[in-house]
Chains A and B, each alone.
Chain A
Amino acid sequence: MFEIGGKTLKSRLFVGTGKLPDYSVIEKMYYEAGVEVFAVAVRRIGPNTKHTKNVLEYIPKDAVIMVNTSGAQDHKEAVKIAMIGRELTNSNWVKVEIEKDTKYLFPDSIETLKACEILVKEGFKVFPYIYPDLNLAKELELIGVEAVMPLGSPIGTNKGIGCEVLLKPIINEIKIPVIIDAGIGRPSHAAKAMEMGADAVLINTAIATSSDPVKMAIAFSKAVEAGRLAFEVGLLKEYEYAQASSPLEDFITG
């Protein structure tokens, strides 16, 4: 159990619903992998748009909806998307995601900070997607966001924890939860994030684009639990040379 954004959750695995072959797997992830938080995006819908199905209709009612502001180019657009999200879901959880470039999808730190300042004042539970930047994370903590969501590596790349040396200081210095988001491609990457002391991870591509999203969600769920347990116990230090597991005396000489 852990507390985040005013809720008590069992699962530290948050899942993004983009790129899913079929929204019906969402309910299975909830029941079979124990996923409680699902991220969604806001887009135009209508006769001349690609999107015709509404993902909300597939999310179990006891699950937590995290509305992302992807597609926003600046803080004003992000605030507007957040408002629309709250209007439609009654969920005040918002993942602030502001990207100007589409090649790397790196978050725009300045616009993200501005959006978070406004959204915290508007009563949202704010979860900003950020670079692993300790100074920015501290600034966001000060203005009252619920958690920070630094990237492991660029979105959808499956490269894993590409910047451990930058993430570790955030985990060590920040008191609010740290959720590693983006780039985690394998359950072992997620386990590593949890071993490092992250409070949760958000996975989308690695689950959604796998051949069996529900099974992969279960795999991630177990990895997240394993990593977390290890972190709570405390990882052991590494040695240069062998440290015998069996006693090195009283050998049989025959």
Chain B
Amino acid sequence: MIRINDKEMEFCGNVLELLLSLNLNPQVCAVLVNGEIVKKEMWENFLLKDGDYVEIVSFVGGG
């Protein structure tokens, strides 16, 4: 079980696979695992484990 943006879900795989499974465009996302940025080049090697807290962020309109 991992937590994504405050919601729990069952997931097994790496960061890139997670984004694709959520139908998100990986090119415009940044990912934090347990509060730390995971660089894009690390996504495929970064396996998510039980209890990880994942935040997926992107850009929205802002002033």
Is the beta-carbon distance between A17 and B61 smaller than 8 angstroms?
yes
Q: Report the interface size class on chain B.
A: 20 to 34
With A70-B63, A87-B37, A155-B63 as given contacts, are A42 and B57 in contact (CB-CB < 8 Å)? Answer: yes
Is the beta-carbon distance between B63 and A204 smaller than 8 angstroms?
yes
Q: Chain B residues near A96: list those with CB within 8 A.
A: none
**B16-42 CB contacts (< 8 Å) to partner A:** 22-25, 28-30, 32, 35, 37, 39-40
The count of chain A contact residues (Cβ–Cβ below 8 Å) is 39
Q: CB-defined interface of A95-129 with B at 8 Å, one 1/0 digit per residue?
A: 00000000000000000000000000000000000
Q: Chain B residues near A46: list those with CB within 8 A.
A: 4-5, 22, 24, 56
Q: Chain A residues near B35: list those with CB within 8 A.
A: 80
Question: B7, B23, B28: which has the most chain A beta carbons within 10 Å?
Answer: B28
Picked from A43, A80, A205, the residue with its CB within 8 Å of the CB of B63 is A205
Is the beta-carbon distance between B58 and A43 smaller than 8 angstroms?
yes
| Interface of A: prevailing SS | mixed
Task: Output the nearest chain A residue to B55 by Cβ-Cβ distance.
Answer: A44
Cβ of B51 under 8 Å from chain A: no
Is the beta-carbon distance between B29 and A45 smaller than 8 angstroms?
yes
Question: A20, A23, A57, A155: which has the most chain B beta carbons within 10 Å?
Answer: A57
Of all A-B residue pairs in the complex, the 3 with the closest CB atoms, nearest first, are A41-B62, A16-B63, A204-B63
Give chain A's interface residues, CB within 8 Å of chain B: 16-20, 23, 39-49, 51, 53-57, 67-68, 70, 80, 83-85, 87-89, 155, 182, 202, 204-205, 208
Apart from A40-B61, A87-B40, 15 more pairs, CB < 8 Å = A23-B61, A40-B60, A41-B63, A42-B59, A43-B60, A44-B57, A45-B58, A48-B5, A54-B28, A70-B62, A87-B30, A87-B39, A204-B63, A205-B63, A208-B61
